[in-house]
Structure 1
């Protein structure tokens, strides 16, 4: 089994505290449902800066990261299946899935 990063992009933030509580409950149900496959539920992230050979920009790049989780799966296909149940998709966001290569 390998670890996979689920990198979250986009999505909307809850507009009210009540909506925020409902969204957090959806995340908690999804996380608990993955059991031991959830290595690190991660967190949302703030505005990022992009560092390149040309300098630093404050735009977060073409597709800014909005959060992440790390899951353990038999294959990238299984990690994708885990991602399909993630509340990030209900918020209008996307999920990029990549294997963590052990060095």
Structure 2
């Protein structure tokens, strides 16, 4: 099996202010979706990203914020195991970010040989 990374992207929405109940429901949706992948033994890891960050550019120029020039943010990633990219895309179906206008980018991970 190969490994694939799922990158979760969404538009920046500074006015978004969910209630605690909405936040809890959204977190439960994510846990249920990822739990379904884990139950198939296809989850290899993942992480949620904070909004804080810096970007290093050529000539050691440091910019505040990750991807400050774009309208989309990357909210997190997971790594899944699948036989091919089509199977990995099938695992992406039902991702909670899709119901909020976001998207899931799926890319093959190429192992680095040491």
TM-score between the two structures when normalised by the length of structure 1: 0.84
- In 2 relative to 1, CA 44–24 (structure 1 residues): closer, same or farther, beyond 3 Å? same
Q: Which runs of 4+ in 1 moved over 3 A?
A: 11-14
Alpha-carbon spacing, 1:97–1:14, altered in 2? closer, same or farther (3 Å) = farther
**Structure label with greater radius of gyration:** 2
Structure 2: how far apart are the matches of 1:14 and 1:28?
21
Segments of 5+ residues of structure 2 without an aligned counterpart are: none
Aligned residues: 103
Contact 1:9 / 1:66 at 8 angstroms: preserved in 2? yes
Give 3-state SS (helix, strand or coil) of 2:31's partner.
helix
Please report how far the alpha carbon of residue 14 of structure 1 lies from its aligned counterpart in structure 2 after TM superposition: 6.0
Match of 1:56 in 2: 62
* 2:5 aligned partner: 5
Match of 2:90 in 1: 81
Q: Give TM-score scaled by structure 2 length.
A: 0.77
**Aligned-pair Cα RMSD in Å:** 2.0
The answer to whether the Cα contact below 8 Å between 1:14 and 1:23 also exists between their aligned partners in 2 is no
Contact 2:30–2:96, Cα closer than 8 Å, also in 1: yes
Contact 1:7–1:96 (CA<8 Å) still a contact in 2? yes
Structure 1 residues 78 and 23, CA, compared in 2 at 3 Å: closer, same or farther? same
**Structure 1 counterpart of 2:31, from 28, 32, 36:** 28
- Secondary structure of residue in 2 paired with 1:19: helix
Aligned equivalents of 2:25, 2:105: Cα separation in 1: 24
